[in-house]
Structure 1
């Protein structure tokens, strides 16, 4: 009997037994893989049967079309489902064990060395294409996650910039209006952005308007004071405006010293003070 005939008979033997034997494969895969155990049997069993069938088609009919289409496709699907590489190695191993057990039932002594080699090559090709589809999908998913992370980071940067707008008023004068709650993290960002803007624009005066800040705690008050001192170190004077009654009480209770920082009742007063220091006046 020719090699092709024996392998065709083996492929037919495995296919005909699949309705009964695939349950054994299903249990084996789900018992050894938590990822595959989460897939409903009604969904997993047909997929396993199709995987075995495509292997049979390759070694029995010498047709690689079905396996080339199915193996990468199901590998990609498993990656998108979040299965791990360990899960994939389990299914590869269990399918190989299943096929070899079927070969034993068929009668391994009926096959020549060349038959066995072609049989094993078909299983290996399925495994290779399955893992190839899985790895390509994982690479694509990881790239997508990186793109999303970069997009989120860019959006967060935009939000930070919008929440901390540094506006040039006149040459050498900047205004920083603060709105909303300020925590230590945001206060640190405010300091960083303000010092960068002072250096880039060679500003002499910065008007820090906290009218829209509802509350200031010890950490934030200290950050604002440090920001003012840091600004002075690089040659800029800070004018603090918009201190409400509650914040004024907080600053006094906390014992925060504002030496070296000029105070204005509101933004208009701060602008007038800054202009006078620059030799300008509003008429």
Structure 2
């Protein structure tokens, strides 16, 4: 069987490459039309060369070794299922037509069919691996962007020598609370601030988890010698704190940012005086 099929493939290889690459290049919206005739021809030529070698040995080792790199050379982006299906259909249709015209025995058709089964299998594995890489890359990019947004949404700015203010806006989930603690400790450690005004008036939802996060942050900042003043404690916040089994008597709270700033100045022995 291989004695009949191999010579046919070798003689017709160049024509098969030309015809299949030409038909693929005409498919609008495909990677083949986008990448151009030269890249498509190299892909088809590599597959036909692998087919000739594999038919001669009775195994698909060449196909398995070259397919991934060959597809990657065609396009840096992930190739779609449609593009791979177009490739298989065009190559299979051309080969089976030539085998039929040549009047080769049924065993020749089976040998080529087995090779195409392996091609389908390898293409499926390629698609799965490409999707996994794409998903991992997108997940990493999303996580980085979320981390950047969360960190940027917690500004900590100095409003006086030794005094920092951190206005919190939106929801304070577990991840954002960790970012808050890390950011506060980093800035307080670098600036050697004495007071941190933590404005919680913009926090959308106040529950036990939020209060617990804030108390943890307060205790951690105190270890650096910095006092935390909670600003904008609403009635809901006060009720939540009162229901917790924690000692909140040493918490410093002020109603507004103005009151908090006045407290900070008084703590440092300063005051705002009217200009003459």
Question: Any residues of structure 2 matched to 1:205-220 within 5 Å, and which?
Answer: 205-220=195-210
CA deviation digits over 1:74-113, x for unaligned, max 9?
9969x62369xxxxxxx9xx9xxx999x9972899xxxxx
Distance 1:235 1:182 in 2: 25
Distance 2:153 2:224 in 1: 24
Indicate how the Cα distance of structure 1 residues 9 and 238 shifts in structure 2: closer, same or farther if over 3 A, else same. closer
Aligned residues: CA RMSD: 4.9
Determine the structure 2 residue equivalent to 1:279. Answer: 269
Indicate how the Cα distance of structure 1 residues 72 and 229 shifts in structure 2: closer, same or farther if over 3 A, else same. closer
Distance 2:106 2:9 in 1: 9
Counterpart among 245, 249, 266 of residue 235 in structure 2: 245
Indicate how the Cα distance of structure 1 residues 58 and 243 shifts in structure 2: closer, same or farther if over 3 A, else same. same
Indicate how the Cα distance of structure 1 residues 185 and 81 shifts in structure 2: closer, same or farther if over 3 A, else same. same
Determine the structure 1 residue equivalent to 2:178. Answer: 188
Verify the 8 A CA contact 2:211 2:240 in the aligned structure 1: no
User: Are 1:229 and 2:219 an aligned pair?
Assistant: yes
Determine the structure 2 residue equivalent to 1:177. Answer: 167
Following superposition, the deviation at residue 255 of structure 1 comes to 4.6
Determine the structure 1 residue equivalent to 2:7. Answer: 7
Distance 2:234 2:181 in 1: 21
Question: Any residues of structure 2 matched to 1:251-270 within 5 Å, and which?
Answer: 251-270=241-260
Distance 2:241 2:235 in 1: 10
Following superposition, the deviation at residue 176 of structure 1 comes to 0.9
Indicate how the Cα distance of structure 1 residues 232 and 75 shifts in structure 2: closer, same or farther if over 3 A, else same. closer
Q: Mean alpha-carbon deviation: is it higher for 167-176 or for 254-263?
A: 254-263
Following superposition, the deviation at residue 145 of structure 1 comes to 5.2
Indicate how the Cα distance of structure 1 residues 54 and 169 shifts in structure 2: closer, same or farther if over 3 A, else same. same
Determine the structure 2 residue equivalent to 1:33. Answer: none
Following superposition, the deviation at residue 172 of structure 1 comes to 1.3
Following superposition, the deviation at residue 174 of structure 1 comes to 0.9
Indicate how the Cα distance of structure 1 residues 254 and 74 shifts in structure 2: closer, same or farther if over 3 A, else same. closer
Distance 1:148 1:241 in 2: 38
Determine the structure 2 residue equivalent to 1:203. Answer: 193
Aligned length: 203
Indicate how the Cα distance of structure 1 residues 195 and 74 shifts in structure 2: closer, same or farther if over 3 A, else same. closer
Provide TM-score, normalisation by structure 2.
0.55
Distance 1:57 1:217 in 2: 66
Indicate how the Cα distance of structure 1 residues 7 and 248 shifts in structure 2: closer, same or farther if over 3 A, else same. same
Following superposition, the deviation at residue 226 of structure 1 comes to 1.6
Provide TM-score, normalisation by structure 1.
0.54
Following superposition, the deviation at residue 144 of structure 1 comes to 5.5
Verify the 8 A CA contact 1:237 1:261 in the aligned structure 2: no
Question: Any residues of structure 2 matched to 1:42-61 within 5 Å, and which?
Answer: 54=48
Following superposition, the deviation at residue 215 of structure 1 comes to 3.0
Following superposition, the deviation at residue 261 of structure 1 comes to 2.1
Indicate how the Cα distance of structure 1 residues 82 and 246 shifts in structure 2: closer, same or farther if over 3 A, else same. same
Between 1 and 2, higher relative CO (CA 8 Å, sep ≥ 6) is seen in 1
Verify the 8 A CA contact 2:9 2:52 in the aligned structure 1: no
